[in-house]
Amino acid sequence: MKSHTARLGAAIAVAVAVGLLATAPVAAHVVEHAGPYTLEIGWQNEPTYVGAPNGVQVIVHDASDKPVNDLKTDDLKVVVSTGGKQSDELTFDPAFDLEEGFGTPGEYNAAIVPTAPGDYTFHVTGTIKSTKVDISVTSSEETFDTVKGTSDIEFPTKLPTLPEIVTRLDRIDARIATPSGAPTQAAVDAADAHAADARAAADRALAVGVVLGGIGVVLGAAALFVAIRGTRRSPA
């Protein structure tokens, strides 16, 4: 009798534990409410790493805790923001197929690839069967995962981060735009200055030549005049 009672107690304990697991929210998700509906919001994949394909996950249940499986693509949308920047509106796709029997009923995902570490905010808007939805949630230790860099898990070689790659590409573009053989602005300015000096020197030389030429003409004319007068004074 005692063993039967012990087995019955164990069975009840297991059933209670299973029930608690079934009704507990998904780990690292925020539970929000819109009218009679419950929304569990978080990342589709956790831990969440920079550069890894991911998605904003929303799991919807009604007041009877039944999954809502008939949301249309444009019923709910989400804008993702971080570091003062925000995405365009992203739409949700069902992550289940009732006929094929795979996936989690009531789960919808909006695909995104986070490209910077830090905390992200999900602003979910739209309607669920005419019930308005306007919910904003932000990642933290109490909500869902903060996006992390991958350097701590890279092996054997640590790869450059996306910002580092962008910086290097920008430097390469700058070098291509200004080849080493192309003159710089300073060189162009110096060449213009040298050309201006050369023109000024040529102008001065020309002026000196004109003056000297004029003096020569005057001296020649004076000599000719003196010679003519001398000829006239001579006897016939």
Where in the sequence is the domain holding 44, given as residue range(s)? 25-174
Q: Is residue 10 part of a domain?
A: no
* Same domain for 148 and 52: yes
Tell which wins on pLDDT, 155 or 113: 113
Residues of 21-57 as b/e, b for ≥16 C-beta within 10 angstroms? eeeeebebbbebebeebbbbbbbbeeebbbeeebbbb
Model confidence at 166: pLDDT above 90: no
Domain count, the chain: 2
| Whether residue 205 is found in the same domain as residue 162 | no
Residues 213 and 109 in one domain: no
pLDDT at position 107 is 98
* Per-residue pLDDT, 4: 45
Residues 150 and 102 in one domain: yes
Token pair belonging to 110:
């909006």
Write down the pLDDT at residue 96. 97
Tell me whether residue 182 is in a domain: no
Q: What is the pLDDT of residues 38-97, one digit of tens each?
A: 999 999 999 999 999 999 999 999 999 999 999 999 999 999 999 999 999 999 999 999
Where helices occur in 2-74 by DSSP H, the ranges are 2-23
Look up the CATH number of the domain holding residue 55: 2.60.40.10
Percent of the chain beyond pLDDT 90? 52
- pLDDT beyond 50 at 25: no
CB 140 within 8 A of CB 101: no
More confident residue, 123 or 21: 123
- Residue 8: is its pLDDT beyond 50? no
In the predicted model, what is the mean pLDDT of residues 156-160? 87
Q: What is the number of helices (H) and of strands (E) in the chain?
A: 3, 10
| Mean pLDDT confidence for 97-107 | 95
Q: How far apart are CA 153 and CA 133, in angstroms?
A: 38
Q: Do 212 and 143 share a structural domain?
A: no
Q: Do the beta carbons of residue 91 and residue 98 sit within 8 Å?
A: no
Residues 73, 168: one domain? yes
Tens digits of residue pLDDT in 174-222: 888 766 566 667 767 877 776 777 677 666 656 655 555 555 555 555 5
Considering the chain, what is the average pLDDT of its residues? 80
